[in-house]
Structure 1
Amino acid sequence: MLSYLFVVIILGGLIAVHELGHLLVAKLCRIPIAEFSIGFGPKLIGRRWGETTYRISAVPLGGYVLPALDEQGFRERPATRRILFALGGPFANVVAAFAGLLALGVVEFGLSAVNAAVFATTQLWTSLQQLAFALSTLFVDPSQISGIVGIVAIGGAQFGSTAAGLLSFSVLINLNLAVLNLLPLPPLDGGRILFCLLEKVYRPLARMQTPVTLLGWAFVLALMVYATIQDVGRIATGMFA
Structure 2
Amino acid sequence: MSWIVDFIVVLGGLIFFHELGHFLAARMLGIGVKTFSLGFGPRIAGFNWGATNYRLSLIPLGGYVSLAGEEREMSEDNGFTEKELFMSRPPWHRMIVVAAGPIFNFVLAWLIFWGIIISNGQMGLAPTVGQLQPDSPALKAGIEVGDKVLSIEGHKIIFWSDLAQTIQNSKSDTLDFVVDRDGNIKEFSIKPQVQELKNIFGETIRRPVVGIVASGDSKTIEMDGLNGAVAAAEQTWTVTKLICTSIVKMVERVVPMDSIGGPIMIAQAIKQQSERGLLELLQFTAFISINLGLLNLLPIPVLDGGHLLFFSLETILRKPLNEKLQAAATRMGLLLLLSLMAFAIFNDIVRTMSSK
- Please state which band the TM-score falls in when normalised by the shorter chain: over 0.9
Percent identity between matched residues is 36
Asked if 1:180 is matched to 2:192, the reply is: no
1:211 maps to amino acid: A
The CA distance in 2 between the partners of 1:160 and 1:96, in whole Å, is: 22
Offset from partner CA, 1:108-158 (integer Å, 9 cap, x none): 224322331222021011111101101112222322211111111122224
Asked if 1:123 is matched to 2:239, the reply is: no
1:213 maps to amino acid: T
Secondary structure at the counterpart of residue 321 of structure 2: helix
Alignment CA distance shift 1:210-1:160 (3 Å): farther
* Matched length: 239
What is the aligned-residue RMSD (CA, Å)? 1.7
Give the C-alpha shift of residue 5 in structure 1: 3.4
The CA distance in 2 between the partners of 1:123 and 1:171, in whole Å, is: 10
The CA distance in 2 between the partners of 1:83 and 1:160, in whole Å, is: 40
Q: What is residue 96 of structure 1 aligned with on the other side? A: 108
Q: What is residue 321 of structure 2 aligned with on the other side? A: 205
Secondary structure at the counterpart of residue 334 of structure 2: helix
CA contact (8 A) 1:7 1:166 kept: no
TM, length-normalised to structure 2: 0.64
Give the C-alpha shift of residue 45 in structure 1: 1.4
Structure of greater relative contact order (alpha carbons < 8 Å, 6+ residues apart): 1
Unaligned 5+ segments in structure 1 are: none
Alignment CA distance shift 1:118-1:112 (3 Å): same
Alignment CA distance shift 1:180-1:162 (3 Å): same
Alignment CA distance shift 1:129-1:70 (3 Å): closer
TM, length-normalised to structure 1: 0.92
CA contact (8 A) 1:38 1:64 kept: yes
Alignment of 1:1-241 (within 5 A): 1-72=1-72, 73=74, 74-109=86-121, 110-139=222-251, 140=253, 141-202=256-317, 203=319, 205-207=321-323, 208-238=325-355
- Return the index of the structure with the highest Cα Rg: 2
The CA distance in 1 between the partners of 2:262 and 2:226, in whole Å, is: 37
More helix by share: 1
Unaligned 5+ segments in structure 2 are: 75-85, 122-221
CA contact (8 A) 1:36 1:65 kept: yes
Alignment CA distance shift 1:206-1:94 (3 Å): farther
The runs of 4+ residues in structure 1 deviating greater than 6 Å are none
CA contact (8 A) 1:40 1:62 kept: yes
Secondary structure at the counterpart of residue 59 of structure 1: strand
Alignment CA distance shift 1:64-1:118 (3 Å): same
CA contact (8 A) 2:38 2:56 kept: yes
166-175 or 208-217: bigger deviation? 208-217
The CA distance in 2 between the partners of 1:98 and 1:201, in whole Å, is: 33
The CA distance in 1 between the partners of 2:7 and 2:276, in whole Å, is: 10
